[in-house]
Structure 1
Amino acid sequence: MTALLTRLTLQTIKIESNYVGRCLGKHTVQKPAPAQLPLTASTPKLVYLIFTKDFSTVDNQDERKKKRKDVFTNVGRKISERIIRVLDEKGNDLGLMHRANVIKLMDKQDLRLVQRNASAEPPEYQLMTGAQIHQERLKIRELEKAKPQTGPTVTKELTFSSNIGQHDLDTKSKQIQQWIEKKYKVQVTIKKGKNADEPENKIGEVFNQILQSMPGIATFLSKPQAVRGGRAFTCVFRHLNKKEDKAHRDSQETQERHTLNKDNRSDKESDVLHQ
């Protein structure tokens, strides 16, 4: 009996030892060893390349040089060429001058120096006052604004019913005018009202009223036409081109002269009757 108990006790201890060993072995396998970390955890080369490009001294210098060429500005005393052609503030040619003499002339007359033609040989510069430089910059800005816009023209769309009230129509006409002034095209769609007694030409009158609210600004790109099986009409407004704008202004001036002459004749006839 004692031998049986001893055997059972040893067997129990052996089973528990094996269980503890398996548990410890399981945890040991699941825990990642430092030597097994993936080698791809190193710093990506792309980040390093982007960093060096953004903070490159050469790139920054190139950007500054490009900016200086594009901006009408005073070069100061930093004249890179030894001999240059100089114009005075009135545009008169002073001939070829050494940069040291140009600096002396600038100091004596309190003028600035601006590069006019870098491709000339030798390069051409002009002496100018600060006010002249400011005026030239304003001219450059106006020319930039006058350049035609690149890219596709934006088209705005507006839809409403022919039963629209006058106040709401005035509001929408102002919105259309704002878009037209920004050189947008505006497509307007007017749906027929549900009133059976509505005149057929009412929608056409609404389109004309919108156009008349923008004299000298807009015209029809496409005339009103029926859509949706005749249940609505649509048209596109656009800004006047230069030729149309000039024709409109000439017409206005002719009309004003005609009105003025008519008033003068009326005044003369009135004076004769009073005599």
Structure 2
Amino acid sequence: MSEKDLRINEQIRVREVRLIRDEGEQQGIMSTLEALELAKGQGLDLVEVAPTAVPPVVKILDYGKFKFENEKKVRDSKKKQKLLKLKEIRMQPKIDEHDLDFKSKHVKEFLAEGNKVKVTVRFRGRELAHTELGLDVLKDVLARIEGEYVMDKPPAMEGRFMSMVLSPKSKGAAKAGA
């Protein structure tokens, strides 16, 4: 439940509540007005933590501090999430050896950074009649990056493009293999 859904102090509109003190000890069932008086007496807020319970569970605590702690938890969990980016490398079936080395090096770097890579070969004009050349280029790229990847999508034609999607090997699999 998010803080936006929590009701505090006078927003709690039920007759009876189950009160939990700020130290965590249960006070029992009492009227909402009594619980509110106890909270005000301590200079704290009455926060509804379980509105669906019968009677609803409320807790005496500092709402500002409570809200800050929850926001901090959300921020920390967002920091731990790694956003996976999809990088794309484009080439043509008539690619030169040096260019292929250069592009393969970039694919390796992107995978090392933890990004997914879409390797695309673009066919123009009559090149479309020789899609096997594009497949050879993609196989050549795979040979140059030597097992530092997991193939998410094998080479396939999409209109005038042939592409495959690679993702980095997971850290656990890399350690197990070493």
- TM-score, normalised relative to structure 1: 0.40
- Determine which of 33, 37, 50 is the counterpart of 1:100: 33
Q: Give the Cα separation in 1 of the matches to 2:163 and 2:54.
A: 60
Q: 1:74 to 1:102 in 2, by over 3 A?
A: same
Q: Trace 1:189-208 onto structure 2 (pairs within 5 A).
A: 189-190=120-121, 202-206=140-144, 208=145
**Distance apart, 1:127 and its partner CA:** 1.9
1:80 is paired with a residue of what secondary structure? coil
2:54 corresponds to which residue? 121
- Consecutive unaligned residues of structure 2, counting only runs of 5 or more, are 81-85, 123-136
Q: Give the Cα separation in 1 of the matches to 2:91 and 2:113.
A: 16
**Could you give the per-residue CA deviations for residues 116-158 of structure 1, whole angstroms, max 9, x where no partner exists?**
2222111111222232232234446777999xxxxxxxx8754
| Matched-pair contact (CA < 8 Å) for 2:15–2:31 | yes
Greater RCO, CA 8 A, separation 6+: 2
2:150 corresponds to which residue? 219
Please state if 1:134 is matched with 2:134.
Answer: no
- Determine which of 160, 165, 169 is the counterpart of 1:236: 165
- Determine which of 71, 78, 83 is the counterpart of 2:4: 71
Q: How large is the RMSD of aligned CA atoms in angstroms?
A: 4.9
Q: Give the Cα separation in 1 of the matches to 2:173 and 2:40.
A: 52
Please state if 1:88 is matched with 2:17.
Answer: no
**Could you give the per-residue CA deviations for residues 194-217 of structure 1, whole angstroms, max 9, x where no partner exists?**
xxxxx99742234x26x74xxxxx
Q: Give the Cα separation in 2 of the matches to 1:171 and 1:111.
A: 57
**Could you give the per-residue CA deviations for residues 44-95 of structure 1, whole angstroms, max 9, x where no partner exists?**
xxxxxxxxxxxxxxxxxxxxxxxx9872545133321121111123433211
**Could you give the per-residue CA deviations for residues 211-239 of structure 1, whole angstroms, max 9, x where no partner exists?**
74xxxxx732135x4869xxx97421247
| Matched-pair contact (CA < 8 Å) for 1:190–1:203 | no
1:124 aligned partner, one-letter code: V
1:64 corresponds to which residue? none
**Could you give the per-residue CA deviations for residues 226-262 of structure 1, whole angstroms, max 9, x where no partner exists?**
869xxx974212477xxx56x348x37x96xxxxxxx
Q: Give the Cα separation in 2 of the matches to 1:200 and 1:168.
A: 10
| Matched-pair contact (CA < 8 Å) for 1:75–1:114 | yes
| Matched-pair contact (CA < 8 Å) for 1:72–1:133 | no
Q: 1:141 to 1:176 in 2, by over 3 A?
A: same
Q: 1:159 to 1:201 in 2, by over 3 A?
A: closer
Q: Give the fraction of aligned pairs with identical amino acids, expressed as a percent.
A: 17
**Could you give the per-residue CA deviations for residues 145-175 of structure 1, whole angstroms, max 9, x where no partner exists?**
99xxxxxxxx875422552463895389549
- Consecutive unaligned residues of structure 1, counting only runs of 5 or more, are 1-67, 147-154, 181-185, 192-198, 213-217, 256-275
**Distance apart, 1:190 and its partner CA:** 4.6
Mark the structure with the bigger radius of gyration. 1
Structure with greater helix share of residues: 1
